[in-house]
Structure formats: C-alpha cells, structure tokens
Chains A and B, each alone.
Chain A
Amino acid sequence: MLETYLKLIWAYLKIGLFGFGGGYAMLSLIQREVVDSGWITSQMFTDIVAISQMTPGPIGINSATYIGYVVTGSVFGSIVATLTVVLPPFILTLIASHYIERHRQSPFIKGAFMGLRPVVVGLIASAALLLMNSENFGYLNSERMITIAICVASFCIVYFTRIHPILVIILAGITGLLVF
C-alpha cells in the first residue's frame, strides 16, 4: 500500500513540475504516468478527460483526484494525489512572485518560453494521437464508421463555431445512446 502511495506521489510530482502549457499539453504527461504504468486503461483515461470537461475545474486537478481514488481505493489517496500535483508549482510560483522584477527580466524565462511554445503544440498533438485507438473508436468496423463521424463532426463544431465544448460532449453522448 505504501508503495502505491509513493508511486502515486512520484507520478504527480512529475506532472506538477513539468506541466507546462496548460491542461491539454499536460495530457500526454499524465497519460504516460497513469496509463503506461497500468493504473488505468486508455479508455478510462479518455472518460476522465470527458468528465473533466463537463465539470468545473482544471483537468490537472480532476485527473489527480479521480486517479488517486481509483488507484488506492480511498479518499485519502485522492487527497494525496491532488495535493501532490499542486505542491511543486505552489512552491515555485511563491518563490517567483517574490522576485517578480528579476523574474520578468530573466533571459532564461524569456528564452525558455519561446522554446516551449512549439513543443507545447507537439505535446497536445501527441495526446490526440495516443487517444486515437480502438479503445476509444471501437474494435468493429461498423462502430468505427460512427465514431470517426462523431469525431469529425465534433472537430468541425469546436473549430469552426463558437459552440461550447460541453454542448459538443452532451450531443456526442446523446448520439452514442441513440446509435449504439
């Protein structure tokens, strides 16, 4: 049990410490830690992302809370994972805010962020690629026709209109209920 907790803490320390570029960019990092380690399936990971989208709050927190509970089976595990993911940024942000002038002038921060911008695009793309699998799109060809159609339609709505993503998820859920 202690080992599970230590692994959980280690995983979420890394996620908190290297989570640059916002929620979507953190996904591949989270996925690597929690899916590749065998804690949850890729399908479950997608479900957690969906739940995160539909509930308020940042996905980094939501995934920690959910996975902390699932992995340890206790509320305490949930608390541990959630606090762990905010601890490294909490300390770093607190320090940086005390040296705000020096921080703003820092050539490292300026340069690092220029370099991170294109990397963040790749991080988000990798998360999308990793989730394009049979667990999420179905194993049967007949299912795949429908799921790919849902994916393309959802993309068009999100990218070309101002319709809220939550509405897109709800519509996709209703579609799933009707056609599967």
Chain B
Amino acid sequence: MQLTDKRESTSGLYLQLFLTFCKIGAFTFGGGWAMISIIQREIVEKHKWIALDEFLDLLAVAQSMPGILAVNISVVVGDRLKGLKGSICAALGTIMPSFLMILAIAIFLTPDTIKNNAVVSRIFKGIRPAVVALIIAPVLTTAKSAGINWKTIIIPVTVALLIYSKLPYISNPIIFIVLGAIGGYIYYLRSLMKGDNGENGGNEANREEVESHA
C-alpha cells in the first residue's frame, strides 16, 4: 500500500513514464549497458517507482529477452507500474528521441550527400576504419567475460568464419543463435544430471552442435 501511495495514481503517471524514458533515451549514448545505470538512477533512486531488488529481477528478465535492452527494460518497468498501457508509454518514450534524431539525419544526410559533398565524404573516409575498430574491441572484451579459452575458442571462430563466408543458408546468424541456445540447454540438462553445478555450461554441447553443423 505504501508503495502505491508514493506513485501518482492518476493518468499523470503515464506521461511521467513517457517523459522519464524520453530523457533516458535522449541522453544515453552507446545503447543498453550504458543505459542501465542511468535507468536505475531515474527509476529506483529518483522516482522511487520500484525497489532495487525488484528492479534487478526485472532487469534479469529484460536481459534474457531478444531485442534492444533499453526498450525491454522500459517495457518491464512500464508494465510493473501501469500494465500494458504503461509499458507502451515507456517503450515509446525510449524510442522517440533517437527516432526523431535519426529521422532528421536520414532526411538531411542522405547517402548522396555523404558521397558528393567533398568535406563530408572525407570525414566519413576517416570515420569508417575507426568504426571497424570500435567493433573489434568488444570482440575481445566479450570473449574475456564469456570465459572463452583455448578449448572453447572454436565456437566464436567457427561462427564468425561461417557468417563471413556468405555461403547460402549456413552463413545466416540466426542459425548460430538457435544452435547456441539449444546446445546450451542440452549441455545444462546433462550437467544437471551429472550433478555438476553447470558452471562453464553450454560451451561443450554448443561446440558439438556447431561442429556437427560445420
């Protein structure tokens, strides 16, 4: 009861949800992970909409679903506060700022502009290799956090090379996402039966899946 008293019970909360997530969407660069701490500050500390431990539970749900993490978080928070309508308000709030900004860019900075404007095209020539570097860096950091070792490195290497190969069907990333999930599940069940705690789970079964596929 006390918690519900703290929330504005009127429809004003819908607007507040929308605006709060608008703010989160407008001021966070770099997507999901960077957004989490800011969302936590707004939702848990500033507005006190949700207690921290519940927020962490909801965060776990949002992380385990596909799609854009920031949107998923707004969905669970909005739903927790105001049901379906709340989650729609929160999700639209998250999307709105980047949508408007990118739409403006799409209208004014067309592919032709980038190609034909001498200044813009030189700037982008310099930017493109840097963007590739920005994608190489998280390969190494996620490999570390996923606990990839010399035995399990075969999985990311196989996945990367097959997608890169552009061979028909087999180069589709969706295949590896599905195989990884199923392989991990099988491995986890097996390790449960063996009585392990399933710590380094997934890797072995997943490797078999990927290898048998390759």
Contacts and interface: CB of A to CB of B under 8 A. Distances in A.
B43 interface: no
Contacts of A54: 29
A43 to B, nearest CB: 7
B80 A169 contact: no
A98 B33 CA distance: 23
20 contacts: A29-B173, A49-B131, A51-B102, A57-B98, A65-B98, A78-B106, A97-B76, A110-B188, A111-B186, A112-B180, A119-B159, A125-B156, A126-B163, A128-B135, A129-B160, A154-B130, A155-B136, A174-B123, A176-B124, A177-B119
B192 interface: yes
Given A89-B72, A96-B65, A126-B159, A56 B101 contact: yes
Interface in B76-132: 76, 79-80, 84, 87, 91, 95, 97-99, 101-103, 105-107, 109-111, 114, 119, 122-132
Contacts of B65: 89, 92-93, 96
Nearest to A159: B137
Contacts of B198: 110-111, 114
Nearest to A116: B180
Interface string B150-188: 001001111111011010000111101111111111111
Contacts of B189: 107, 111
B176 A90 contact: no
Interface string A128-140: 1111100111100
Given A111-B201, A122-B157, A173-B127, A58 B70 contact: yes
B79 A97 contact: yes
B75 A93 contact: yes
Residue among B114, B132, B203 facing the most chain A CB atoms (10 A cut-off): B132
Interface in A43-88: 43-44, 46-47, 49-62, 65-66, 69-70, 75, 78-79, 82, 85-86, 88
B155 A118 contact: yes
A7 interface: no
Given A104-B61, A111-B184, A154-B130, 6 more contacts: A53-B30, A109-B64, A110-B198, A114-B201, A118-B155, A137-B128
Contacts of A164: 29
B133 interface: yes
A169 B160 CA distance: 25
Interface residues of A, number: 112
Nearest to B26: A56
A138 to B, nearest CB: 7
Given A23-B32, A60-B67, A173-B123, A66 B105 contact: yes
Given A53-B131, A122-B156, A136-B128, A93 B72 contact: yes
B71 A123 contact: no
Given A59-B31, A119-B180, A136-B132, A16 B66 contact: yes
B156 A119 contact: yes
A120 B166 CA distance: 18
B25 to A, nearest CB: 6
